[in-house]
Amino acid sequence: MEPMQAVILGAVQGLTEFFPVSSSGHLVIFQQMMGFKEPDLLFDISVHVGTLAAIVVYFFSDIVNILKSLFLSLSSRAKGRAGHFTDMEIIDINMAWMIVAGSIPTALIGFGLQMISDILFSSLLLVGIALLITGGILLLPRWMKPEKPADAKLSIKQALLIGTVQGLAVIPGISRSGSTISVALLAGVSRDTAIRFSFLLSIPAILGALMLQLFMDSPEIGGAPGSVILIGLATSLIVGYGALSLLVKMVQKGHLYYFTPYCIFLGAVVLMA
């Protein structure tokens, strides 16, 4: 892999990990266009680490506040006290436990689909069909029911539903961010909460997927040069942070469906290719 190819693939990962157009689907398409029959595992992991770092940087204060609130809650329970928390701390504690709950179906489904990853990631037909499905999913929130108040807590039912959808987004062509945010909105979650939960929920999912990938495929980890690895990681981080910032603004304005024409167009092109 050449440095310029690393820049291109890193930028593709950075843009499509957050824009609701499916990063895995685009990586399959671009890698096949560049003649890579099988992606270099170490490089693939590096660009995912880059976008994971973008999420951590963007939501750093949220992550710190959630961990602090959770620690206070667990400390109070360990001491046998009820504890007195602010409204924001209660919301953060709820967010922490809902991330745990949502991660359960994600892990179960993701592990199951990982067993047939060779089939999933080698079929452009599947990518095309999945992109068309993603385009339809992004339209659904336009007809959603009224939102709950912006400070409403997530329910266990909502968390499990969103976690299930995140697990299915392992299928290349199904956008993780687009599907989880859309389903959250349809389930009555406010826009701000849907954004926070979607991306905070992705952190353990991405970490788990990377560990599973290393554990299952370590003998074939690949041998991309260190400079190429760093270029891909840095590009995906920088481009990803910019894409995440833009997506948050678009969701807040109710413009998630703007990506529908692109998904449908690309899906149709892939199916005709």
Any idea what the Cα angle at residue 79 is, between residues 78 and 84, rounded to 5°? 100
Rg of the chain over Cα atoms, rounded to whole angstroms, equals 19
Q: What is the mean pLDDT of residues 25-52?
A: 75
Which tokens sit at 191? 């826009």
Give the model confidence (pLDDT) of 57-97 as tens digits: 999 999 999 999 999 888 887 776 766 788 888 899 999 99
Rounded distance, CA 45 to CA 58, Å?
20
pTM value surpassing 0.75? yes
Q: Distance (Å, rounded) from C-alpha 187 to C-alpha 185?
A: 5
The pLDDT value recorded for residue 103 is 95
> Higher pLDDT residue, 126 or 197?
197
Give the model's confidence band at 166: pLDDT under 50 very low, under 70 low, under 90 confident, else very high: very high
The whole-number average pLDDT for the span 92-112 is 92
Rounded to whole angstroms, the Cα distance separating 138 from 131 reads 11
Contact 260, 22 (CB under 8 A): no
**213-272 pLDDT, tens digit each:** 777 655 455 556 778 889 999 999 999 999 999 999 999 998 999 999 999 998 998 888
Q: What is the average pLDDT value for the chain, to the nearest integer?
A: 85
